[in-house]
Structure 1
């Protein structure tokens, strides 16, 4: 079960990364607002040191005698970028959030009704 939650967590991370490019390409109002809003929430959780609910669930599910599976170990490394210091991951997240939020200035939303 831990692998499933970690897989979902990884999909959310990939949504943030690739969703930015998709949002710029399609410039869909609802998608860009949803992407920026969820990224803002995650960034604020990181800034204030509040654990993500998925992280809490992963920790609960990962409390086993055998230390978890091989797949879970590698998914955890990918999701949490364990080879970087926590403050470096936070700085990268804040910089990426700034890039996403600033994109509303340098690529404004389209104003047509079909897009909304």
Structure 2
């Protein structure tokens, strides 16, 4: 399929995947923060669908780390960049800055430990601020 894609289109699609990737990272990280900060004030942090998506996504990320697998979005983006004749993470403005925001150089064990710890935090949040229940706020 990549063979039929023009290099310019492949580069644009790679940038779009990177933007999506940053959005997913923001959803997981800021979502955990929102759960902690808004547990008593914001009803939406207890929404069962939102919380299920959040915990499943974090579980998927932690599982990938444990298995030593790259994120499918990273694999797809890198394949598109290669097809476009670009070096991985060295092209457009969007790609240059957003990749620096979410990609770090560290040994694999650091990522496994970080994703596991963050996953445990997300799961703990499931029990501390359970979804689907709306506690009455005192007046």
Moved over 4 A (4+): none
User: Within 5 A, what are the aligned runs for 1:58-97?
Assistant: 58-63=77-82, 64-67=84-87, 68-71=90-93, 72-82=95-105, 84-97=106-119
Gaps of 5+ in 2: 1-11, 39-44, 135-139
How many residues of Structure 1 are paired with residues of Structure 2 in the alignment? 111
Unaligned runs of 5+ in 1: none
- The correspondence for 1:32, drawn from 40, 43, 51, is 51
> RMSD across aligned C-alpha pairs, in angstroms?
2.0
* TM-score normalised per structure 1: 0.80
Aligned position for 1:55:
74
Which residue of structure 1 aligns with residue 20 of structure 2?
8
The alpha-carbon distance between structure 1 residues 13 and 42, as it changes in their structure 2 partners (threshold 3 A), is: same
Structure showing greater radius of gyration is 2
8 A contact 2:35–2:125 mirrored in 1? no
* Aligned 8 A contact 1:45 1:52 in 2: yes
Q: Which has the higher contact order (CA 8 A, sep 6+)?
A: 1
Cα offset, 1:35, TM superposition: 0.3
The Cα offsets for residues 59-86 of structure 1, whole Å up to 9 and x where unpaired, read as 111114453414223322222223x333
The CA distance in 2 between the partners of 1:66 and 1:94, in whole Å, is: 32
